[in-house]
Structure 1
Amino acid sequence: MFRQVVRQVFSQVFSHVRTFALAAIAAASLLGAGSAQAAFPERPITLIVPWAAGGGTDAVARQIANMLERDLKQPVNVVNRTGGSGVVGHQAIATAAPDGYTFGLITLEINLMHWAGLTDLTFEKYTPLALVNQDPAAIHVKADAPYKNVKELFAHIKANPNKVVASGTGQGGSWHVALAGLMQADGVSPGSIRWVPSTGAATALTDLAAGGVDFVACSMPEAEALIKAGRIRSLVFFSPTRAPNFPDVPTTEEATGHKVHKGVWRGFAAPKGLPKEIAAQYETAIKKAWDSAEFKEFMNRRGFDMIYLDSAKFGEFMKVDNEDNGKALKSLGLAK
């Protein structure tokens, strides 16, 4: 009888100990899972840039990468994946594993390439993180041009179809599309000018100053040297607010009544399907870097305009931008 009672007691004690041990193991597992999740990142991160080293997009990416390294306590390695007019790098970002260890700095071209038939890749293939920069377009003419404002230039184009010559980028490039959007909004056919493709704004501006073209569409920073030299002047700035360095140049709304705010932009994005908690961590870190005096000084020194949109607003921005670019490229006969 005594032995039976002892066995029962030991059996009950063992049962309680076993239950407690299982509970402790389960709790430890949950804590371990939480710790692993909170530990992101645990290894180096790759930041893909779809454009060549040394350019503006590369410079912005490297500046942010340096600042994220300090915040995330892991190396952020910038990798330039060039080729295919931006397709190669944008594709590499979209097709990477959505685990947070690969993200990229995407650009306006993601909303141009598929319209041109270069790829089926669109902005919808990404998890937007933050828009950090947009350089609005502007229209520039020779200093002695007869047009006092952009309305007079557009009236001259209407009166002289296919005679006015413009440049600024390649056919269907960023500045060409921005110009087409404003012309279309103001009732001027984008196809009524002769667009001379150029290798970049610098080449086009040199042609403008020499009298080889009638006007150029490009950013204000790109034209700054010739403006300050008194060789060219700007008629309109494609932004909701005037440029701080050029306060005398009216915005599109002031000059035409149209809210056409177009230009080149850069924003951070990750592959579609990135876990929400990791996306939020990136968004917080990027905003912290963007808000810093260090980043502001870098952007001002480079002449880049600062704009910030969070993940949700960046996604909405890309949707509208994509639709606008489609309309512009169709008006130019360049959409596939």
Structure 2
Amino acid sequence: MTIRAGLAALFTAATLVAAPASGQDYPDHPVEFIVPWSPGGGSDTLMRLIAGNIAPYLGVEMPIINMPGVGGTVGLREASRRDADGYTISQVHEGLLVAHETDITDQNWDTFDPIALMTASPQYLVVHPTEDYTDFDEFVEFAKAHPGEITMGVTLGGVPHLHAAMIEQAYGLQFQYVGYEGTGERVRALVGGNLDAAIGDISSSLQFVENGDLQFLAVGSPERMAATPDVPTFMELGSDLELNVTRGIVMPKGAPQEAKDKLEAALEALSKDATYIEQTNNAGAEVMFRGQEAYATYLGKLDDTVKSLSEVLAP
């Protein structure tokens, strides 16, 4: 019996050593961050700010691995295949929902466990100055009287297209879409008078607004932006629209709840860090924290909207 007891004790000890760390021990080694975009872009820059500042709050490092391709879906596919142990995370934004609905990928937001929304880049309705309308209400009135005549610059099948279609749906309008690859390209076309309107943001458009070359009519943030205090939100203008490019953290589905809770708490603490906030603002975005439940609610509501606009967004 003594030998059997000794062997049993050795077996138990070996099992404990071999067993993966429980959620209560999380994290006990670095958490790998798959960023599904190329180095140097907006998402990569903002995610590196998270990774570079998280260690004091999470207790471990967060090395980044860039896996770009097909609008972010290559890296997300790899992330979805990783073990759901809390040691792999990735990043999503609205583009994933559009890519899913337009059959670019079979993944969607609920392929993953949302952990926290971290940043938002509020999007603006930007117009070339005209005597036809001087504010948003006049713009809506003109657009209703001239359906299909306002040329709207977007990335066809992309997030700007989604945002413009959401404006159409909310106010009963009809635009004539003109496709451009990037924000800078369509803003330049707008400044040159080749477009009537576009979806833009602070970093791409503010200098032209300040010069009088363009005009912001409305912003998609929940509250007015400090940089543009005179620009009303769409919510003020009678709709429930949030037009943001948000960036949030997700885990492979089925991760331990303790791991999800601990990462969420670390990210929430980071969202209040003055240095991190300043760095994010300098990168052209706002810190907008929402935890697991609120972030999932936001993505679910947006997904319903994307589905309702699938015919408009189809290539």
Q: TM-score over 0.5 for the alignment?
A: yes
Amino acid at match of 1:273: G
1:152 paired with 2:134, answer: no
Amino acid at match of 1:224: L
Aligned match for 1:173, one of 158, 169, 173: 158
Who is 1:273 aligned against? Answer: 254
1:200 paired with 2:182, answer: yes
Give the deviation of 1:243 after TM superposition: 0.9
Who is 2:279 aligned against? Answer: 298
Give the deviation of 1:82 after TM superposition: 1.0
8 A Cα contact 2:26 2:258, kept in partner: no
Structure label with greater radius of gyration: 1
Aligned match for 1:98, one of 78, 84, 87: 84
2: CA distance between counterparts of 1:35 and 1:119?
32
Who is 2:32 aligned against? Answer: 46
2: CA distance between counterparts of 1:304 and 1:151?
27
Amino acid at match of 1:65: A
1: CA distance between counterparts of 2:244 and 2:28?
37
Amino acid at match of 2:45: A
The total of aligned residue pairs comes to 314
Deviation per CA, 1:97-154: give whole Å up to 9, x if none: 1112211111111211111011111111111110011222211112345311222222
2: CA distance between counterparts of 1:315 and 1:29?
40
1: CA distance between counterparts of 2:21 and 2:123?
46
Matched-pair identity in %: 27
Deviation per CA, 1:195-228: give whole Å up to 9, x if none: 1111211111111111010111122332112112
2: CA distance between counterparts of 1:67 and 1:261?
28
Deviation per CA, 1:230-283: give whole Å up to 9, x if none: 21111111222111110100111223x111112211000010010111111211
Who is 2:101 aligned against? Answer: 115
8 A Cα contact 2:45 2:283, kept in partner: no
Who is 2:122 aligned against? Answer: 136
Give the root-mean-square deviation of aligned CA atoms: 2.7
8 A Cα contact 1:172 1:329, kept in partner: no
Who is 2:206 aligned against? Answer: 224
Aligned match for 2:303, one of 313, 319, 322: 322
Residue 235 of structure 2 aligns to a residue whose secondary structure is helix
8 A Cα contact 1:65 1:77, kept in partner: yes
Amino acid at match of 1:306: V
Who is 1:4 aligned against? Answer: none
Amino acid at match of 1:304: A
Deviation per CA, 1:41-83: give whole Å up to 9, x if none: 3433320111111111111111111122344443322111111
1: CA distance between counterparts of 2:257 and 2:15?
19
Aligned match for 1:163, one of 149, 154, 157: 149
Q: 1:71 to 1:305 in 2, by over 3 A?
A: closer
8 A Cα contact 1:114 1:122, kept in partner: yes
TM-score normalised to the size of structure 1? 0.84
TM-score normalised to the size of structure 2? 0.90
Amino acid at match of 1:40: Y
1:212 paired with 2:194, answer: yes
Residue 188 of structure 2 aligns to a residue whose secondary structure is helix
Give the deviation of 1:293 after TM superposition: 0.7
Richer in helix (by share): 1
Residue 107 of structure 2 aligns to a residue whose secondary structure is coil
Q: How does 1:232-247 map to 2 (within 5 A)?
A: 232-247=214-229
Moved over 6 A (4+): 21-35
1:309 paired with 2:269, answer: no
1: CA distance between counterparts of 2:58 and 2:146?
58
Q: 1:207 to 1:195 in 2, by over 3 A?
A: same
